[in-house]
């Protein structure tokens, strides 16, 4: 018997410097004359080459120190399981740690019933190992899986952004040429240009429950980077 549960995960890529204006001198040396302003977009897609798995260990105990100790031991087991599976120690980092009192509010006055400790980790791995990392962490004692973020390495991100910008500029020039033809003008150069970029992929995760136990299978969608340019051309 197989159960398939689908859920949506959101991948996020931050594109540094996307809103910095690009200034280019016009071919006529900045002389006054007709201008043509257009906006255009270009995009480039690729499979993600990096996954960040968010897992955590949570425990409640009578004292803050007891809760801390239980969480510390749980996190150590998770780290050991990942290390034994050749996940580098540097790829496992703490994102959240906290200890807080737990109260019972069912009575007229709140009653302290214990302390809850939480230690959350981010694990960087290849997209093809995201499901394995989840299974290893949960099997070692992780009590929560807070999502998987699919993204791009800095190098791959820069490559896609450059391609998207090239395509956006090609589209902008084509639009400008079309407008110029309709207005009986010709484009002579770029007077000013600015750019911004973003993307919105929607990877999916699937959990398969087989006779031998569950295996988490992550199936990410391609990451699409879309660049937008605003260009002012000189005309004559």
Q: Which token pair is 2?
A: 């197989």
Largest distance between two CA atoms of the chain: 82
- Look at residue 4 and tell me whether its pLDDT is greater than 90: no
pLDDT at 169: 96
Q: Which of 2-11, 84-93, 142-151 has the highest mean pLDDT?
A: 84-93
Q: What angle do CA 214, 215, 220 make, to 5 degrees?
A: 140
Share of the chain above pLDDT 90, in %: 67
Domains of the chain (ranges plus CATH)?
3-48+153-235 (3.30.110), 50-151 (3.30.70.2970)
Q: Which token pair is 17?
A: 């410097």
Query: How does pLDDT run across 59-84, given as a tens digit for each residue?
Result: 999 999 999 999 999 999 999 999 99
Mean pLDDT (the chain) is 83
Rounded distance, CA 177 to CA 233, Å? 10
Residue 202's φ and ψ, nearest 5 degrees, are: -135, 80
- Look at residue 177 and tell me whether its pLDDT is greater than 70: yes
pLDDT at 25: 29
pLDDT at 17: 37
pLDDT at 1: 33
């Amino acid at each position: 018997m197989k159960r398939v549960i689908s859920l949506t995960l959101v991948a996020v890529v931050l594109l540094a410097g996307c809103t910095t204006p690009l200034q280019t001198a016009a071919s006529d040396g900045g002389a006054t004359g007709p201008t043509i302003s257009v906006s255009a977009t270009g995009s480039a897609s690729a499979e993600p080459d990096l996954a960040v798995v968010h897992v955590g260990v949570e425990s409640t105990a009578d004292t803050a120190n007891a809760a801390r100790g239980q969480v510390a031991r749980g996190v150590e087991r998770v780290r050991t399981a990942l290390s034994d599976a050749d996940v580098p120690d540097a790829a496992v980092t703490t994102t959240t740690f906290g200890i807080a009192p737990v109260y019972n509010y069912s009575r007229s006055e709140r009653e302290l019933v214990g302390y809850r400790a939480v230690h959350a980790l981010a694990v960087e791995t290849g997209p093809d190992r995201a499901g394995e990392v989840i299974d290893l962490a949960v099997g070692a004692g992780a009590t929560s899986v807070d999502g998987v973020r699919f993204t791009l390495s800095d190098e791959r991100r820069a490559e896609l952004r450059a391609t998207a910008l090239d395509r956006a500029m090609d589209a902008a020039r084509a639009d400008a040429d079309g407008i110029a033809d309709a207005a009986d003008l010709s484009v002579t150069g770029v007077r000013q240009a600015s750019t911004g970029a973003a993307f919105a992929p929607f990877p999916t995760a699937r959990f398969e429950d087989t006779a031998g136990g569950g295996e988490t299978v992550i199936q990410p969608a391609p990451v699409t980077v879309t660049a937008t340019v605003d260009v002012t051309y000189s005309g004559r």
